[in-house]
Every structure is written in structure tokens, then in C-alpha cells.
Structure 1
Amino acid sequence: MSVSISRQHWNALLEALEETRRQRHVLTYRALIERLQLPSPAMQTLTAALEHLAAIDARAERPLRSTLVISQGASRLPRTGFFEYALQLGRFSGPPDGMAAASWHSAEIVRVFEYTYPEEDI
């Protein structure tokens, strides 16, 4: 099944992540879905959009903005699929759960906070 995100939702996603980055915060998947008011299948649409953004950032050798989106569970980490995709992009190595993932995620968040993304990418 292929999912796509509207231009309006894509732009809103980029704006939400930039605002979150400037405030040095993170967002949960649920909060982002609600903020963007994504239609069903919302989680699949958001996942596809975040993976697309991660690929764009990886190609440009920038920190992955999708790192700012986390699960609302106790781990405060993205879902396992995020780490698996970061592994495919060559940005992360190790098991997609546990200390290596948590450590890499923390470091990548700091990189995102400190990086200034080009305006055309916001």
C-alpha cells in the first residue's frame, strides 16, 4: 500500500518540526498527527513522510529532523522502525532497541537542535 501526504500537510510537518527544533523539544507521534490533523491512515502517512524527510536529510548530510518525533511510551524514543530506517540510510548502526539506539538518538537530537536548516527546507 502506498501512502502520500498532501503539500499542505507536508509544509505543516516541516513547520512543526522547525518550531519544535527551535524550542529544543520533541513531539510524540500522536501529538504530531493531531497537530497536523492527518486523515486516515494517519500513522502510515506520518511514517512515510518522516522516512521521506529522513532520506532528504541523509542525502544532504544533515541531522535527521525525524529524530524529534518519539513514542509516548516510557522509552521516549522513536519506534523501532525509525532506527531500522536510519540503519538503511547508513546513519545508525546497532540494534534498533537498547542502549546503542538510545545513545545515538540523544546525540542526533542535539545535532538537530544545533543545526540551522535552509529556509527552503522548512
Structure 2
Amino acid sequence: MSVRISRQHWQALLSELEDAQRQRHLLTYRALIERLALPSPAMQTLAAALEHLATLDARAERPLRSALVISQGASRLPRTGFFDCVSRLGRFNGAPDGIAAASWHAAEVARVFEFAYPEGE
């Protein structure tokens, strides 16, 4: 199944991530889905959009803004699919849970907070 996000939702996603970066805080998938008012299948749409953004950031050799989106569970880490994606992109190598994932994610979030992304990208 191919999932697409509208241009309006894409711009809103970038804006939410920019705000999160500026305020130095993380967003949960649920909060982002609600803020963006994504239509069903909302989680699949959001996941596909975040993977696409990770690919764009990786190609541009930038920190991955999609790292700012986490599960609301106890781990406070992104979902397993995020780690699968960043592994495919050559950014992370390891299990999607545990100390290695948490350490890599914390470092990536710090990199995102410090990076100056181009306007409107």
C-alpha cells in the first residue's frame, strides 16, 4: 500500500518539527497526528512522511529531524520502524531497542537541536 501526505500536511509537519527543534522538545506520534489532523490511515501516513524526511535529511547529510518524534510509551524512543529506516540509510546499526538505540537517539536529537536547517526545508 502506498501512502501519500498532502502538501498542506507536509508543510504543517515541517512547521511542527521546526517548532519542536526551536523549543528543544520532542513530540509524540499521537500528538503530531492530532495537531496535523491527519486522515486515516494516520499512523501509516505519518510514518511514511517521517521516513521520507529522514531520507531527504540523510541525502543532504543533515541530522534527522524525524528523530524528534517518539512513542509515548516508557521507552521515549521512536518506533521500531524509525530504527529500521535509519539502518537502511546507514545512520544506525543495532537493535531498535536497548542502550545502543537510546544512546544513538539521544545523540541524534542533540545534533538536530544544534543544526541550522535551511528555511522552508
Unaligned runs of 5+ in 2: none
| Alignment partner, residue 85 of structure 1 | 85
| Alignment partner, residue 11 of structure 1 | 11
Counterparts of 2:97 and 2:64 in 1: how far apart (Å)? 18
Letter paired with 1:42: A
- Give a deviation string over 1:55-93, Cα, whole Å, max 9, x none: 000000000000000000010000011011100000111
Q: TM-score of the superposition, structure 1-length normalised? A: 0.98
Counterparts of 1:95 and 1:45 in 2: how far apart (Å)? 24
> How much does 1:120 deviate?
2.9
| Alignment partner, residue 33 of structure 1 | 33
Counterparts of 1:40 and 1:120 in 2: how far apart (Å)? 26
**TM alignment of 1:102-121, pairs within 5 A:** 102-121=102-121
> How much does 1:22 deviate?
0.2
1:49 matched to 2:49: yes
| Alignment partner, residue 64 of structure 1 | 64
- Structure 1 residue ranges (4+ consecutive) displaced by more than 6 angstroms after TM superposition: none
Counterparts of 2:82 and 2:120 in 1: how far apart (Å)? 24
Letter paired with 1:28: T
Aligned pairs, how many? 121
Letter paired with 1:27: L
Task: Using the aligned pairs only, state the percent identity.
Answer: 77
- Give a deviation string over 1:29-68, Cα, whole Å, max 9, x none: 0000000000000000000000000000000000000000
Across the aligned residues of Structure 1 and Structure 2, the Cα RMSD in angstroms comes to 0.5
> How much does 1:111 deviate?
0.1
Counterparts of 2:64 and 2:120 in 1: how far apart (Å)? 16
Q: Is 100-109 or 88-97 further displaced after alignment?
A: 88-97
> How much does 1:95 deviate?
1.2
Counterparts of 1:31 and 1:96 in 2: how far apart (Å)? 22
Counterparts of 1:14 and 1:51 in 2: how far apart (Å)? 13
